Amino acid sequence: MFTGIVEGIGEVKGLWREGDVMRLALEVPFEAKDVSLGESLAVDGVCLTVVGKKGEEVHVEVSQETLSRTKLSRYRPGTKVNLERALRLGDRIGGHFVTGHVDGVGEVVEVERLGRSSLMAVRAPREVLPYLAEKGSVALDGVSLTVNRIRGDLFWVMLVPFTLERTTLGKMRVGEVVNLEADVLAKYVVRYLNFKGGRGITEEFLREYGFL
């Protein structure tokens, strides 16, 4: 479990195949010696397991399923990534509960500078839309953000100066993609409504409850 409060920006130093999985060598913004084998690490919001270390590098393993559902298949040496270690007992929850299980990949369609902040518009895949709500939480590349507004398949988030400086979102450009994870509480609510009413998530339902 994570909070969406990124600890720092890391860099992909290498990647290679081992059977049906891919391994990433990451330069991390914290002491590699403090990271334990088997520990969970959120890489651009994707929960991955630490399987090795070499000097200041941490190695993680990526399954074929994860590669097909996230943007990790686009990584190359030199790619910058947001990193967060898993919650520990007693840690503060500064963002919202982020599981590290990405729901889909969105596309950045607009970045508007507003003083020192930026308003970013993202196109979400259809399967993610039912879980988004204005003023609700969403994780973009592992960063906990608040949904500012929703129009059709687009939603907007405000990026404050701290987020722009401390995460990769500050360098994001139109046409680039981001890993999306909707609030886990929203998923349970939708699941409950589907189970109880059997109505499902239809266009009529989305309009009735203000999603469209």
Nearest Cα to Cα of residue 83 among 146, 166, 150, 202? 166
List, in order of start, the domains of the chain with CATH numbers: 8-85 (2.40.30.20), 104-208 (2.40.30.20)
Nearest Cα to Cα of residue 4 among 157, 210, 175? 157
Return the bridge partners of 57, or none. 27, 54
Q: How many CB atoms lie within 10 A of CB 73?
A: 13
pLDDT (mean) for 178-191: 79
Asked if the model's pLDDT at residue 203 lies above 60, the reply is yes
What pTM value is reported for the model?
0.86
Asked if the model's pLDDT at residue 187 lies above 70, the reply is no
pLDDT in tens, 131-170: 999 999 999 999 999 999 999 999 999 999 999 999 999 9
